[in-house]
Amino acid sequence: MFISDNDSRIVYTCDTAPIEDLPKSMYHPDLLIHETNSLSENRKPDHSGGLEAAALAEVAFSINIVMSTNGKHSAFFCGKLHEAWLESCMYQRRNYEKPIDYRADVVVLSSGGAPKDMNLYQGFKALKNAVNCVKEGGEAIWLCKCPEGCGAPDYSSWLQPLLEGHLDESLRKEFTIGGFIFYLTVESLGQIKCRIMSEMGNDIVQPMGAVGSYKSVEALLEGVDFTGKTVYVMPQAGNVLPMYKKD
């Protein structure tokens, strides 16, 4: 049995069906909540259900592992299920969340270079964090090389349903984790005006909502005007989570 820290989901490894069914709750029309704050348990549609199921399972001991930005173990929190989970969230908040007083007009971000930007599937983690610190409709200048393009087939295959106009409908019917990450990518790009320095073509990034893909810094910044604008710079955007204080 596995209990994930942040989403409080219980997965029984003896059967694949529960694993496939668990994320479907997130696609209920009333439960489309993509909350990134690690302590927003009351906003998580499946958090209370996870705790209830864990109580029925009579979990005797819980181990929570917080990973560092270099992929190594940063901290362990062990003991009672909910208490250990909460302590791990508090640790994550102290070390990896960055309170901000305002959302900027522009964010300049990098996914952090190889291997973090080998493909869009991996590099998206940086964009997901960065959209928290820029105004809706604001600008993002994103460095994400993506020599492997979109990456995993389970991610890239959802471009076709997007082009055909039925991404949401198809993902609800045939949910996959890769499809969900693709959906979140499109959702994030739809909130901002994003220019990407990447090896990908515009035939991929523009349907997903990006302004375009550019091969050089000069092309990337052509026509971009920072005059009078507030700007955040995130060189390792996948490693820090901006949290607007008024949220």
Residue 14 pLDDT: 42
- 185, 131 Cβ separation under 8 angstroms: no
Q: Digits of tens for pLDDT over the chain (247 positions)?
A: 344 444 444 444 444 455 455 555 544 444 443 444 444 444 444 567 777 777 787 788 899 999 887 778 999 999 998 899 999 999 988 988 999 999 999 999 999 999 999 999 999 999 999 999 999 999 999 999 999 999 999 999 999 999 999 999 999 999 999 999 999 999 999 999 999 999 999 999 999 999 999 999 999 999 899 999 999 999 999 989 999 987 6
Place of tokens 């349903």: 161
Q: Is 2 exposed, middle or buried (0-12, 13-18, 19+ CB in 10 A)?
A: exposed
Cβ neighbours of residue 160 under 8 Å, at least 6 residues apart?
A: none
At 36-75, the pLDDT tens digits run 444 444 444 456 777 777 778 778 889 999 988 777 899 9
Residue 17 pLDDT: 53
Calpha distance 220→141 (Å, rounded):
8
Place of tokens 């082009």: 163
Torsion sign across C-alpha atoms 195, 201, 206, 209: negative
Residue 212 pLDDT: 95
Torsion sign across C-alpha atoms 70, 74, 76, 82: negative
Residue 223 pLDDT: 87
DSSP string, 129-180: HHGGGEEEEEEEEEE---TTTT-SHHHHTTHHHHHTT-HHHHHHHS--HHHH
Calculated CA dihedral for residues 47, 185, 217, 149, nearest 10 degrees: 120
CA atoms within 13 A on the CB side of 38: 22
Of 76, 137, 145, the residue nearest 107 (C-alpha): 137
